[in-house]
Structure formats: C-alpha cells, structure tokens
Amino acid sequence: MKKILIASDHGGFHLKQFLITELKKENYTIEDLGTDNLDSCDYPDYAKKLVLELKKDTQNTLGILVCGTGIGMSMAANRDADIFAAICTNEFMASLTRKHNNANILCLGERVLGTELALNITKTFLNTEFEAGRHSKRLALFS
C-alpha cells in the first residue's frame, strides 16, 4: 500500500480532515502536510510542500491536494515536470487518470464535491494502477 501525502488550503480544510479520518479507518498511511486551521492561506505553498515531499519517493507515494475547486492546487502542482496532478470530479475520471496518465496527485474541490463523492473518487484513485503500455509512450512526450 502506498504512502499518502495530503495537503489543503483553508478552502479545502474540512474535506481534507474528512478524508484523513476515513482513509485512516482503512489503514492507509497518511501524512498531513497542512494547513492546520481555517485561517486564510496561499494554496501554492501547500502544493509546493506536497510536491517536494512526493518527489522523494514517487514510486511508493501518492498525493492528494484540496482547495475550493481543485483548480488552483492542480495548476500549482503541475509546474513540476515529475508531477501529474489531476482534478477529478467523478470516479471514472479518477480511474482513467491513474490507468492512462499515471497521475500521482489527486486534486479535489471542497466547494464542488460532497464528502461521500470525494471519498469514492479518492478510493478509486488510490486503488487504480497505471496500465503502462501505449500510455507510457504518451507520457514520455511530456519531457
């Protein structure tokens, strides 16, 4: 089972806390990288913190970033060449972004998703493996 890094800004704090609680019930190893409260903060700081930690072990680690919509976190995280951060709003997107894109960070929006849907998306993302094959060639084109 992969280690899970998770971070949010203030706009994603409640969903982050919910996901941590639920994933720990299923024995996931979770590392919470903040924020620790609802005080206004800057999402790029938390995206960068997670990206730097994820890059230490991309083979055995996945990330989850949460903000109001998931858009800001995705934009901030994807500035790094080794990172494939995907916004997902349903399980189908979560499955395909792992199978076809080998995404290593899931981006979620607290203001656009209910908690149960977000949990289902997260579980799908965490339990789906990259199919490689023809998809590996396409990902190499990013370099």
pLDDT digits (tens, 9 = 90+) for 110-131: 999 999 999 999 999 999 999 8
Instruction: Read off the pLDDT of residues 28-68 as tens digits, 9 standing for 90 and up.
Output: 999 999 999 999 999 999 999 999 999 999 889 999 999 99
135 noted as active-site residue: no
The domain tally of the chain equals 1
The pTM assigned to this predicted structure is: 0.95
CATH code of the domain covering residue 90: 3.40.1400.10
Strand partners, 108: 66
> SS3 for 137?
helix
The identity of residue 49, as a single letter, is K
Which one of 10, 14, 100, 135 is the catalytic residue?
Answer: 100
Kindly compute the dihedral angle of the four CA atoms of residues 88, 94, 99, 101, in this order, to the nearest 10 degrees.
10
What is the extent of the structural domain holding 17?
A: 3-140
Phi, psi of 142 (to 5 degrees): -70, -25
Which residues fall within 8 angstroms of residue 71, CB to CB, at 6 or more apart? 87, 107, 109
The identity of residue 4, as a single letter, is I
